[in-house]
Chain A
């Protein structure tokens, strides 16, 4: 167990629907990152929050949004779902005041597998 908890583990939903993915970071970590992983694109950075505030944005679609709450858990909201949104969605957290890029690395959760049918 990495200490980063993601729920649900699996999600199957229809096109056009909206879903919410939840992430609880490792105890003491202030930064939360969301990534999308697909077979052809690999891990794509979506968005980062640090202590409740948006810190960095990647290739996140306008149909997607996220937030980090005062208790530091984060939610990723995906709306108007399309078949192409089917992927693994990972949350990661970092322990080092947000400087994960300098080698301290991320701690990843086990992911949410989203299937859009």
Chain B
């Protein structure tokens, strides 16, 4: 079993829809949780990060972490065609421990 599980999709939604992307994990030592966005033929770019449990909002994006369930989510409101990309969850133990573990990524397509 992988440390981080993520549905690879693809996920197709109409423009304006609310998108929910999720990951589950097995390592209870993970403390830092990140979402990366990767456009085709590009490297991943950091979208959001949170520490421990809770919510974090940035514009149309909301990240949620539920450590008790080992479950993290990214919500995209009012989705746009420019949001079409692969979204990778990522997590780490922090505390100077450098390794970041990534999910396989969910491919999202927002249809105009």
**Taking beta carbons and an 8 Å cutoff, which residues of A are in contact with B?**
2, 4, 31, 33, 35, 41-43, 45, 48, 55-56, 58, 90, 92, 98-111
Return chain B residues, CB-CB under 8 Å to A101.
32, 92-94, 96-100
**Taking beta carbons and an 8 Å cutoff, which residues of B are in contact with A?**
6, 32, 34, 36, 41-46, 49-51, 88, 92-105
CB pair B98–A56 under 8 Å, yes or no, is yes
Q: Given A2-B45, A42-B105, 6 more contacts at CB 8 Å?
A: A43-B102, A103-B34, A103-B49, A105-B34, A108-B45, A109-B43
A92 interface neighbour in B43, B49, B96, B101, Cβ under 8 Å: B43
The chain A residue with its CB closest to the CB of B34 is A105
The chain B residue with its CB closest to the CB of A48 is B98
The secondary structure that dominates the B interface is strand
CB pair B98–A55 under 8 Å, yes or no, is yes
* Complex Cα–Cα for A72 and B71 (A): 37
Nearest Cβ on chain B to A97's Cβ, whole angstroms:
9
CB pair B41–A110 under 8 Å, yes or no, is yes
* Complex Cα–Cα for A48 and B100 (A): 11
Return chain A residues, CB-CB under 8 Å to B43.
2, 4, 90, 92, 108-111
Asked, given contacts A102-B94, A103-B34, A105-B34, whether A45 binds B100 with beta carbons under 8 Å apart, the answer is: yes
Nearest Cβ on chain A to B98's Cβ, whole angstroms:
5
Return chain A residues, CB-CB under 8 Å to B42.
110-111
Nearest Cβ on chain A to B17's Cβ, whole angstroms:
25
Return chain A residues, CB-CB under 8 Å to B51.
102-103
Return chain B residues, CB-CB under 8 Å to A109.
43
A-B pairs with beta carbons under 8 Å apart, 26 shown = A2-B45, A31-B98, A35-B102, A42-B103, A42-B104, A43-B44, A43-B88, A45-B101, A48-B98, A48-B99, A55-B98, A56-B98, A98-B96, A99-B98, A100-B100, A101-B93, A102-B92, A103-B49, A103-B50, A103-B51, A105-B49, A106-B44, A106-B100, A107-B45, A107-B46, A110-B41
